[in-house]
């Protein structure tokens, strides 16, 4: 059971670290950066999210230990053999130590995470019209347009806009649709409002914080006050 819980925790860290690494590649977020940080990682063109990379490797190691525990449990001979002893002495302590290190790294990263909102806004403006095409189609049909004709128009305009984006130009899908008579009755500004497209995600996040996260934080308040030193 311990190995399963450790592996699940490691998987969550692995997922979080990978997502942050992808966003860092897009320059939407950055890891904490010390003013006196030196070495190749301090150069702008080499700013790898090295802490998340470290946490990913540690988490991967912990997840890899889970099969050792499962094989140990499965291969016991009538509960009489001692082949479990050496495996347990290795995988259990190492799993706890590696996961503890990964948690400390991620606490450091998330505690000082830098979010580049202008970069996120620019990418949102570039990609949102493509993401919202289904909503645009429904809005056009609701305004009285023939659904099949509106679908074909969106497809044609979207492909043309995508070609512009591939050439490094701005996404002009909304402008194209605004000039198309089929979308005369559609409020494109409302249809392309990113907040409207988020659904209940904000409400669900707030509820999760109150009902799940806060009780855990309260239960472990003394431990959470500890600010880990980045040693790994």
Q: What is the pLDDT of residues 92-121, one digit of tens each?
A: 899 999 999 999 999 999 989 999 999 999
- Reported as a pLDDT band with limits 50, 70 and 90, residue 84 is confident
Helices (H), the chain: 2-25, 50-74, 83-111, 117-131, 133-142, 147-166, 173-178, 188-191, 201-208, 214-219, 221-224
Predicted pLDDT of residue 35: 67
pLDDT in tens, 119-146: 999 999 899 999 999 999 999 999 999 9
What global pTM score does this model have? Answer: 0.80
- Reported as a pLDDT band with limits 50, 70 and 90, residue 181 is very high
pLDDT in tens, 24-52: 999 999 998 776 666 656 666 667 889 99
| Greater pLDDT, 168 or 34 | 168
Predicted pLDDT of residue 199: 87
Predicted pLDDT of residue 40: 57
Predicted pLDDT of residue 228: 64
- Reported as a pLDDT band with limits 50, 70 and 90, residue 222 is confident
- pLDDT over 60 at 64, yes or no: yes
Predicted pLDDT of residue 18: 97
Predicted pLDDT of residue 220: 85
Cα–chain center distance at 15: 7
| Greater pLDDT, 228 or 115 | 115
- C-alpha radius of gyration, the chain, whole number: 25
In DSSP terms, which residues pair with 30 in a beta bridge?
114
CB 29 within 8 A of CB 20: yes
Domains of the chain: 2-115 (1.20.200.10), 119-194 (1.10.40.30)
């Amino acid at each position: 059971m311990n190995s399963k819980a450790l592996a699940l925790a490691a998987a969550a860290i692995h997922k979080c670290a990978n997502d942050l690494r992808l966003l860092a590649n897009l320059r939407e977020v950055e890891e904490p950066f010390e003013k006196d940080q030196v070495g190749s990682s301090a150069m702008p063109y080499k700013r790898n999210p090295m802490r998340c990379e470290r946490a990913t490797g540690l988490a991967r190691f912990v997840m890899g230990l889970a099969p050792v525990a499962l094989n140990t449990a499965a291969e016991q001979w009538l509960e009489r053999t001692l082949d479990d002893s050496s495996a347990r002495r290795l995988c259990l302590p190492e799993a706890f130590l590696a996961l503890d290190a990964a948690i400390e790294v991620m606490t450091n990263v998330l505690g000082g995470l830098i979010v580049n909102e202008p970069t996120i806004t620019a990418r949102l403006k570039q990609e949102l019209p493509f993401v919202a095409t289904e909503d645009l189609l429904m809005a056009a049909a609701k305004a009285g347009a023939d659904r099949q004709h509106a679908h074909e128009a969106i497809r044609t305009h979207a492909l043309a806009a995508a070609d512009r984006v591939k050439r490094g130009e701005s996404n002009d899908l909304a402008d194209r649709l605004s000039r198309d008579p089929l979308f005369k009755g559609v409020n494109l500004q409302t249809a392309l409002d990113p907040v409207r497209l988020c659904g209940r995600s904000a409400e669900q996040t707030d509820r999760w914080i109150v009902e799940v996260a806060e009780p855990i934080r309260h239960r472990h308040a003394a431990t959470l006050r500890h600010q880990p030193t980045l040693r790994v």
